[in-house]
A and B are shown apart, each in its own frame.
Chain A
């Protein structure tokens, strides 16, 4: 059974720091991996989607990498800002299009000014 783990569970950094959030999954047979942001009491906002054949995706200050063979993904946030404070969730889609996502518990990020 696929399991997704995110480390660390919580992270506090001063504004301006570059940081890395980690995600690991137990079954490398995935269709894609998606990173989300969740603000308190809100739904999920999609940040980046990496297909199984891709190694990385970039959007603005965010860069996500995927190493499918080792079951790992990282989300790199450059020059962090207080507005980046949120919970970041990693989710994998098993090896069929349209199947439901399997989520980690998330990393709660706090960026202080």
Chain B
């Protein structure tokens, strides 16, 4: 149903590395979101965008940054990964009512 894609699905990376998690959607949605989810915990909003060149920080403090140069693309970047960044990252897009999620990226920082 949903045409929203995240890559990579799994990533193991060393401390201090720069990484970019990719998220793309083909539905033409203006609104896109990044959530972080730790095991057994609720999803926490870390970034969102209401359109091209619009980005905002969410409720959960995050050391990541995002960009929105094209409607369909909303990448998340960690400049210097740390073990505390180990988590699952979920991207979503939304029309006015319904939200669609990607399959997530499980990031492990060693």
Number of interface residues of A (CB under 8 A): 25
Given contacts A43-B90, A105-B40, contact A100 B45 (CB under 8 A): yes
Chain B, 26-41, CB within 8 A of any chain A CB? 30-31, 33, 35, 40-41
CA of A17 to CA of B108, assembled, Å: 38
Least Cβ–Cβ distance between B2 and chain A, in angstroms: 8
Given contacts A100-B48, A100-B58, contact A43 B101 (CB under 8 A): yes
Query: Is the CB–CB distance between B102 and A101 below 8 Å?
Result: no
- A-B contact list, 16 entries, CB within 8 Å: A32-B97, A43-B6, A43-B102, A43-B104, A44-B90, A91-B43, A91-B99, A93-B99, A97-B97, A98-B30, A98-B31, A100-B58, A101-B33, A103-B43, A104-B42, A105-B41
Chain A, 49-108, CB within 8 A of any chain B CB? 49, 51, 89, 91, 93, 97-98, 100-106
